[in-house]
Structure 1
Amino acid sequence: MILFLQSLTIAAVTLTFGAHAQNAFSGAVGFGAIATGGNSGTTYHVTNLNDSGTGSFRDAVSASNRNIVFDVGGYIVLNSAVSLSSSITINGQTAPGDGIGIMAGEVSASGKSNIIIRNLRMRQGNLDSDTGKSAFNMGSASNVILDHCSFAYGQWDTVDAVGAVNITVSNSIIAFPIGQQFGAHVETGPSTFYGNLWVSAHNRQPLSKDDTQFINNVVYNYQAAYTSGNTAGYFSHDIINNYFIAGPSTTSASDAYYQMAADQSVYATGNYLDSNKDGVLNGAASNTVGSSTVLSNPWAGTSLGLATLTAAQAVTAVFDNAGASPRDEVDAFAVSTAQSLGTSGKIYTNQASTGLSNGGYGTLTG
């Protein structure tokens, strides 16, 4: 309870879209913004793209209290899942060239705490033979913020956060899950999803079995988008100023809200649904969330302060800014797919079907 109240107090200074001071970094928002990372520890330079050994990413994250920077750009191809330590900061924005990416395996923060990750591309794909793993796993983790990251080709989930406490996923792209074709699964919480672009998933965008802030997101070409499911739990959801846009894979546009039962409490305002797939952003207000109990005020005191953009403004901001920087081939494809506003997109079973270079993973030049 103390930690929960602390997160609310710290997040209360939110004033503008992606621009305010928190513990994690300037501009951090939401419940994960209390993460301290490894900013006060030793700076570790990743000097090669090897799977392991001195100077590798795996070696960099093997010890706590590290502030990790990259002297190289390109893809790190994993031979097995890589496990992070607690109290680390991963600064993907320091990588030269097209930036840094992790492919062919899971990045795991399972059971760890105080982790900050920025501008990192995590793309599992079916080069990972373990179909029970995800692109990023933070199961039972606490105090985690993922900002301006890019997730793609997750097999189990794209982002798995079962049992996670105090997490934020912000300004990121969550696209093209394969396998189960799921976006994100969150349990325990609280969690914040802010300013993200979700593209072409079957479901779980996200699956929220927790108290959630879902603000200024864009969800495109969904079969089911915001989901609570048969949780057997009572949770509260602040769903504010998001835009749901149907695509070729959307069979029922009303499944923008899915399995929202009467045991869930929802504050929904400013959300829009564009259901006609005509290539024009011309949706209508959509704030009736299943049979859930309607809240007259947000459950989280910081939610209205975060929602500085209308749903339409969020579309422009997300298309312009979401994902790791600089924007690479995979993210450009995800954004252009969403920018078709209903006329393009499919749900994939493997990354190669995208037709992108490097077997679908895209090319990162360091």
Structure 2
Amino acid sequence: MSIARTARAYICNTQLDQAAIQVAQNAFSGAVGFGAIATGGNSGTTVYVTNLNDNGTGSFRTAVSSSNVNIEFSVSGYIELYSPVSLSSDITINGQTAPSPGIGTFGREISASGKSNIIIRNFRMRQGNLDTDTGKSAFNMGTATNIILDHCSFEYGQFDTVDAVGAVNITVSNSIIALPIGQQFGAHVETGPSTFYRNLWVSAHNRQPLSKDDTQYINNIVYNYQAAYTSADTAGYFSHDIIGNYFIAGPSTTSAGDAYFQMASDQNVYATGNYIDSNKDGVLNGAASNTVGSATVLSSPWASTSLGLATLTAAEAYTYVIANAGASPRDQVDAYVVSTVESLGTSGAIITNQASTGLSNDGYGTL
């Protein structure tokens, strides 16, 4: 069978698989995309995090060490991690249950590597240079299956902010992926399929995301990029639905056209409703941009649910994402991130150290 016929057959089979996944949206009301099939630990035991300790009874680390648990929080604030945290399969992390001003971790990686069926909502993960292992990421879900991350905030990732190499059926939605240090990369996805929906990507060198899989990329906002949506020359044969996204140049953007980066003819792309604002003039006034490198143009989406998800124009997505992305309520770090985006080209920087933000607590902010 030819490569082209093999690719078409794969796309057809994947469409059937993803249609079944979309019918079984069990994660929570409003869950979308390929990760929505996850049920987490919703039918299991409820476990409460009662302190901000790194480990021990009542700690976050202890809570996530068991499977089939639904985790809630009776405490708010930062949990400083002194070593990476490995999640178990079949868990739900309900950060929205924490008292104001919310809950989060900093200092080390959180890993779902090799695990399955995980839901994380309203949670902050900020690695930063307190982690001496520069090969780690803020969140790692390599070789994981059925994962949904919703209204989360990922900052200061060292290797990647979100690492999903080998991951199957994932959704990242309504989240902030910002200010990576180290490699200065947003997200790396391989295998898939994956859904990136209504996220805010801010001040990364590249990989927003690096998509080596079949991807839905819908109503995202990318600001102050050097390269944004990327497939890379060694990606293989994949399909991409890129709909209603807004790419906004900032002070670190050297070529606004690199919103689509390394998209070769072996990539199949359906692109519509996307805009690029390249003039850095403090006003949202971009122009339509739907020519995605030298990729092969699809006349219709590869995923049957993509058009149904794309309910916002790019301009409407900007307004929505600015108001809603990230963990709630917004803390100092996310407020800083959003304020740079709202400058619409006049502020923002790609950084190597979270302290350069000037925020309290060595740049991690006070939670």
User: Shared fold by TM > 0.5?
Assistant: yes
Structure 2: segments with no counterpart, 5+ residues: 1-9
- SS state at 1:68 partner: strand
Partners of 1:5 and 1:87 in 2: how far apart?
Answer: 25
Q: Structure 1 residue 6: deviation in Å?
A: 4.4
After TM superposition, the structure 1 = structure 2 runs for residues 326-365 of structure 1, keeping only pairs within 5 Å, are: 326-364=329-367
Is the contact made by 1:148 and 1:170 (CA closer than 8 Å) also made in structure 2?
A: yes
Partners of 1:62 and 1:189 in 2: how far apart?
Answer: 26
Deviations 1:71-116 (A, max 9, x none): 1000000110000000000000011121001100000000000000
Partners of 1:4 and 1:40 in 2: how far apart?
Answer: 29
Give the % identical residues: 82
Deviations 1:143-201 (A, max 9, x none): 00000000000000000000000000000000000000000000000000000000000
How many pairs are equivalent?
356
Partner of 2:22: 11
Verify: 1:324 aligned to 2:327, yes or no: yes
After TM superposition, the structure 1 = structure 2 runs for residues 60-209 of structure 1, keeping only pairs within 5 Å, are: 60-209=63-212
Verify: 1:40 aligned to 2:51, yes or no: no
Partner of 1:221: 224
Partner of 1:275: 278
- Higher RCO, 1 or 2 (CA under 8 Å, sep at least 6)? 1
The residue identity in structure 2 corresponding to 1:221 is: N
* RMSD after superposition: 1.2
Partner of 2:316: 313
Deviations 1:305-350 (A, max 9, x none): 0000000000000000000000111001111100100000000000
The residue identity in structure 2 corresponding to 1:65 is: N
- SS state at 1:23 partner: coil
Q: Structure 1 residue 8: deviation in Å?
A: 1.9
Runs of 4 or more above 4 Å deviation: 1-4
Verify: 1:49 aligned to 2:59, yes or no: no
Verify: 1:294 aligned to 2:317, yes or no: no
Structure 1: segments with no counterpart, 5+ residues: 13-20
Partner of 1:261: 264
- SS state at 1:8 partner: helix
Partners of 1:97 and 1:299 in 2: how far apart?
Answer: 41
- SS state at 1:126 partner: coil
Is the contact made by 1:278 and 1:342 (CA closer than 8 Å) also made in structure 2?
A: yes
Is the contact made by 2:15 and 2:304 (CA closer than 8 Å) also made in structure 1?
A: no
- SS state at 2:163 partner: strand
Partners of 1:126 and 1:8 in 2: how far apart?
Answer: 41
Q: Structure 1 residue 9: deviation in Å?
A: 2.6
Partner of 2:241: 238
Query: What is the TM-score normalised by the length of structure 2?
Result: 0.95
Partners of 2:53 and 2:174 in 1: how far apart?
Answer: 28
Partners of 1:128 and 1:24 in 2: how far apart?
Answer: 31
Partners of 1:232 and 1:216 in 2: how far apart?
Answer: 23
- SS state at 1:45 partner: strand
Partners of 2:269 and 2:25 in 1: how far apart?
Answer: 27
Verify: 1:27 aligned to 2:30, yes or no: yes
The residue identity in structure 1 corresponding to 2:104 is: G
The residue identity in structure 2 corresponding to 1:185 is: H
- SS state at 1:314 partner: helix
- SS state at 2:321 partner: helix
- SS state at 1:362 partner: coil
Partners of 2:72 and 2:163 in 1: how far apart?
Answer: 25
- SS state at 1:32 partner: helix
Q: Structure 1 residue 234: deviation in Å?
A: 0.1
- SS state at 1:327 partner: coil
Partner of 1:59: 62
Is the contact made by 2:113 and 2:141 (CA closer than 8 Å) also made in structure 1?
A: yes
Query: What is the TM-score normalised by the length of structure 1?
Result: 0.96
- SS state at 1:265 partner: strand
The residue identity in structure 2 corresponding to 1:238 is: D
